[in-house]
Amino acid sequence: MDDRFWAGPDRVKVDEGELRLLSAREVLEARREGDALAQDGRERALCRNACLIARALERGDEPVFADGEAVLDGLRVEDIARLADRWAQFNRSCNPSPLDGAQEIQRRKKAWSTRVMSAFSGACSACLALCPLRSGRKE
């Protein structure tokens, strides 16, 4: 069982396969690789997005592309932009920001707390019954 059950899905399906969430290090590596591929500042966004897609796009737990250059060779600009936008949207939905506003943060906190408790219902309820929730100290 995945030990991050409360974190939500770590993949989203797209026509080309699945996009997975990336660690901070993977995102930094993609940016650095993209910067190395870009010949000037106008190419940087496309190259960075291609490198991001190379790391995030998988089919059957295997990368679809070896690196950013392979993405640039294999996809159109529109496809790279669409996949990068989809990944960014998915990443934002799984990793809330303080910039989302207090109301959105409260909604996500509530969703997170109910998701954790609902994991203990059903088959695990016998385990939960053995360790009932306590309120306050009893001496």
Q: Which amino acid is at 21?
A: L
Tens digit of each residue's pLDDT (9 = 90 or more) over 88-133: 999 988 876 777 677 777 776 777 666 555 555 555 555 556 666 6
Q: What is the mean pLDDT of the chain?
A: 81
- Domain 5-95 adopts which CATH fold? rbstp2171 (3.30.2220)
Burial of 34 from C-beta contacts in 10 A (0-12 / 13-18 / 19+): buried
For the chain, give every residue range classified as CATH 3.30.2220: 5-95
List all residues 6 or more positions away from 137 whose beta carbon is below 8 Å from its beta carbon. none
Q: Is the model's pTM score more than 0.75?
A: no
pLDDT (0 to 100) of residue 36:
96
E strand or H helix at 106? helix 102-118
pLDDT (0 to 100) of residue 105:
72
